[in-house]
Each structure stands twice: as structure tokens, then as C-alpha cells.
A and B are shown apart, each in its own frame.
Chain A
Amino acid sequence: QITLKESGPTLVKPTQTLTLTCTFSGFSVDTSGVGVGWIRQPPGKALEWLALIFWDGDKRYSPSLKSRLTITKDTSKNQVVLTMTNMDPVDTATYYCAHSTRLPQCSGGKCYYFDYWGQGTLVTVSS
């Protein structure tokens, strides 16, 4: 059974750096064809993909946020960590981590889809 859970601060001040941890069970992020990603959702708005780390250590970032994001994995702890610098009130959102699986007979980042999601954590950016 695959489960994921996000943890981190619920409130950050503008200009601060946000660090979120995704702790998971039921899979290894080192398994071929597996990835863990982050997606956020501002209150009442649509989903926005942020970053994804693949089983082989490769990483993908949203081009619009790439300069502010870093994603890493710690296989021994079954964790994936996302850091976002220079937080702004517009970054207020629920942040989700999600397990990603690669389609069969397919290669490249486009072949992955998000099949298991964490419950999400609401992060508010305010002074």
C-alpha cells in the first residue's frame, strides 16, 4: 500500500525559504520507473505542478519557478524534500506530494503520471 504525507511549516514570512518533506511508504524512490513530485493548489484555484525527482536522480522543475526550487531525495529515510526560496503571499497554497509511475514502453519525463497523492499541507505566506 502506497502512502505519502507532507510535513513542514504552516506559516512562513515573505522572503523566507520554505522546506517541505514528503515521507512515504510502500515503495522505494530508487525503483526503476518511479518518481515523486510536488504539486500545489492555491485556495479555490487550479493545480500547478512544481517539481519531480526520478528514480535515477534526474530532476524536472516548473520553468516558471525553476530558479526558486530544489528537490532532493533521501532513500534511506523514504523522503523527498522540496525547498522554495523567496516566498511571497502568492505562494500561499496547499502543497501536495505525489508518487509517479512511468507508462510501459515509454521513456522520458512525459511518460510519468501521478497516481498516489498525499493529503496535502496548507502553507500560508504572511508577515
Chain B
Amino acid sequence: QSVLTQPPSASGAPGQRVTISCSGSSSNIGSNTVNWYQQLPGTAPKLLIYSDNQRPSGVPDRFSGSKSGTSASLAIIGLRSEDEADYYCAAWHESLKNWVFGGGTKLTVL
């Protein structure tokens, strides 16, 4: 059972918009920034979003992050087949003094 809760799966057709949620608490998302990682099949995770809504250089602006209270979201617009991957949220947990990850969301492009 992960400290951060994500839906196990999400899907969308090419060109559509999809959002992935990440629910936490006041001890993690509510008081610290959220990062998102994309893990393509058989590869290492890649940083997609940091500090709630910042994109590293090279990440397309089709990807965006937002946060409100103790929840965060990753939005992908103009869905492409190459976006099919697992997506993880992560945040620092104050009381555990620990980085915590969500359980991951498997995105399927229909």
C-alpha cells in the first residue's frame, strides 16, 4: 500500500487529453512539492515534472503538472502512442522523513 494514491490505470485515444491523479496528505503533498516520473516499458524512470509544475529541458509542453491541497495531477494533451508508460508521483513525507512514491498508473493509448 503506497503512501501516495494513484489510479492503477488510465487510458485515452490518440489526440485526447488524459489526467492522472495523485492523492496524499498534509504530511507530504500538502506541505512539499510533487515530482512526476515516466517509465517506458523496460526502461528506467525519467523525470517528467518537478516542483509541482516545472518541466525539465526536453520534456514536451504536452505534459503539465498541478497541485491543490493534498492532491496533485499530471495532464497529458495530444496523447500519442509513445506516451504509453507507467507514471509515478513522488513527494517528501515530513513525519516519515522519507521520499514516498505513488503506486504508479499504467497509461494505455487506445
Residues on A lying within 8 angstroms of B by beta carbon are 37, 39, 46-49, 52, 60, 62-63, 96, 103, 109-110, 113-120
Contacts and interface: CB of A to CB of B under 8 A. Distances in A.
Contacts of B98: 49, 62-63
B33 A103 contact: yes
Interface in B32-68: 32-33, 35, 37, 43-47, 50-51, 56
B97 A113 contact: no
A46 B56 contact: no
Given A49-B98, A63-B98, A117 B51 contact: no
Given A49-B101, A113-B33, A117-B45, 11 more contacts: A46-B88, A46-B102, A47-B104, A49-B90, A96-B44, A96-B45, A110-B32, A114-B37, A114-B47, A119-B43, A119-B44
B85 to A, nearest CB: 13
Nearest to A120: B44
9 contacts: A47-B45, A48-B101, A103-B33, A103-B50, A109-B92, A109-B97, A113-B47, A114-B45, A119-B43
B44 A47 contact: no
A110 B96 CA distance: 11
Interface of B: 2, 32-33, 35, 37, 43-47, 50-51, 56, 88, 90, 92, 94, 96-104
Contacts of A118: 44
A36 to B, nearest CB: 14
B97 A60 contact: yes
Q: Is the interface of A mostly helix, strand, loop or mixed?
A: strand
The 3 closest A-B pairs by CB, nearest first: A110-B92, A49-B99, A47-B101
A21 to B, nearest CB: 17
A115 B2 contact: no
A63 B44 contact: no
A110 B94 contact: yes
A70 B98 CA distance: 16
Contacts of A49: 90, 98-101
Contacts of A119: 43-44
